[in-house]
Chains A and B, each alone.
Chain A
């Protein structure tokens, strides 16, 4: 019969316009639902990005396998060079390389050219110390070796990456745990809020729904506008969250990279992350939106 084949065409225009108009019927609720979902995605994204950067920093540290020993500022460069033999005498030290403050400054400028420009006359090599890069035979003894080097007179500080590594491992683990927990909770909250927004629309439209059933609309057809409503809210949330995340990431990472203290952190540029962020946000948005609408309309799937 003609009804049968008619039902196959998916009346996309109808569903999407109904979905959009549903969204605006409860403007405030939709706004709140989108706001919560954006917050959920942002928190999830932020902790994931922290974990990503901690991970990148860790693998950078592992690649370098080196410890930096900073020479006391009161020593002249010649005196500083003289410490080389003392350091080589420490067990487990495989090799040392002296890096003068001038050279360290040049390396630094080379790594972060924009900082060089910013720094101008305010900063120069005198803000840095002479240092030794020290390579070891056995990385697992890093802590003991670093401690022995620290005892050498004239050495001010040893940058024991082991401690740093531990710090980053902790950071990554905490970020991962927090993000997993928060994701679970916030997902549920978002789904719940979106579901309730859509429930309001189904309540508003109960007479239309009754008429649709009476004239023989399929459950699928009745459901689609609500699914699109949820989908739209989810995708809109993903879009907003994406741009906010981008801005936030830019703000935080530029803060970190202009600060000497954080120079150890390996910052993954957003340009190599945006695809993944967009994909994850879109996926999460779709999941939350469609999940919310399906849980809202479950009740009238029957008869």
Chain B
């Protein structure tokens, strides 16, 4: 579960990115996080991954309180999250399989777990036939599916994605979003930041809208429609 309570985030240059934000995401939910540019969406993602710390307020992520987390605990908190970015962030000189292997190995997975898990997630994202390709031998949509597979490979309870379809054409974007919904149906909590109204409107899911560092609407249904959550 994710819970942000009265969160204020002020960057060192004085920019107040979040201004008294409250947000709760329960296990198993699928949530779109939308809002104009600069409204604080990426800041929320960075708070959840522990990349930045809140100036005020409390942030809970899957049982870890990020307000007073010990530094050594941060990696263990991060293992409960799978993170996906617009720019994929794959290791260019490693094959699809080796990118997966790397992600598992650096958190200490055993060879047995690795052998079982990688084929499973590659099948889930539909890349089982392309595991020996290098990232630059794949289309953008395929690269993003590799990134999703990597986010899933260590079996996190939550996936958070910051504009995962930002670099993709509408057809590819729909594929990726459908894949994330499918992953959600398999039991993983999913939080997706996106700009794409049309895409959001194709799904009947919870939409949290931010403006100037606050939640201005939180409703199941259509982007922009205000309703009670």
Contact = CB atoms under 8 A, between A and B. Distances in A.
Given A7-B108, A211-B103, A217 B50 contact: no
B76 A4 contact: yes
Nearest to A4: B76
Interface stretch (B67-75, B174-182, B211-219): B67-75
Contact of B78 (A7, A208, A215): A215
A148 interface: no
B103 A215 contact: yes
Contacts, number: 63
A216 B91 contact: no
A212 B105 CA distance: 10
Interface in A214-233: 214-219, 221-222
A213 B108 contact: no
B91 A217 contact: no
Contact of A215 (B71, B107, B110): B107
A56 B127 CA distance: 73
A215 B79 contact: yes
B148 to A, nearest CB: 13
Contacts of B74: 303
A121 interface: no
A11 B105 contact: yes
Interface in A1-35: 3-4, 6-9, 11, 14
B89 A210 contact: yes
B155 to A, nearest CB: 9
Contacts of A85: none
B105 A7 contact: no
Interface residues of A, number: 24
Given A6-B110, A303-B50, A216 B105 contact: no
Interface in A193-221: 207-208, 210-219, 221
Interface string A156-192: 0000000000000000000000000000000000000
Interface string B92-111: 00000000001101111110
A211 B76 contact: no
B105 A14 contact: yes
B108 A303 contact: no
Contact of A3 (B72, B103, B108): B108
A14 B50 CA distance: 27
A188 B71 CA distance: 31
Nearest to B52: A303
Contacts of A303: 50-51, 71, 74
A217 B103 CA distance: 9
Interface in A276-303: 302-303
A212 B103 CA distance: 7
How many B residues touch the partner, as a band? 20 to 34
B156 to A, nearest CB: 9
Contacts of B83: 214
A217 B75 contact: yes
Contacts of A302: 71
A44 B77 CA distance: 48
A216 B107 contact: yes
Nearest to B78: A216
Contacts of A9: 108
B158 interface: no
Contacts of A212: 106
A220 to B, nearest CB: 9
B102 A211 contact: yes
Contacts of B102: 208, 211
B91 A207 contact: yes
A11 B109 CA distance: 10
Nearest to A215: B103
A236 B83 CA distance: 40
B53 to A, nearest CB: 9
B220 to A, nearest CB: 30
B144 interface: no
B150 interface: yes
Given A216-B107, A217-B75, 13 more contacts: A3-B107, A6-B109, A7-B108, A11-B108, A207-B89, A207-B91, A208-B102, A212-B106, A215-B106, A215-B154, A221-B108, A303-B51, A303-B74
17 contacts: A3-B79, A3-B107, A6-B108, A207-B89, A211-B103, A214-B83, A215-B79, A215-B150, A216-B76, A216-B81, A216-B107, A217-B75, A218-B72, A221-B107, A222-B106, A303-B71, A303-B74
Interface of A: 3-4, 6-9, 11, 14, 207-208, 210-219, 221-222, 302-303
6 closest Cβ pairs, A-B complex: A216-B79, A216-B78, A6-B108, A217-B106, A216-B75, A218-B75
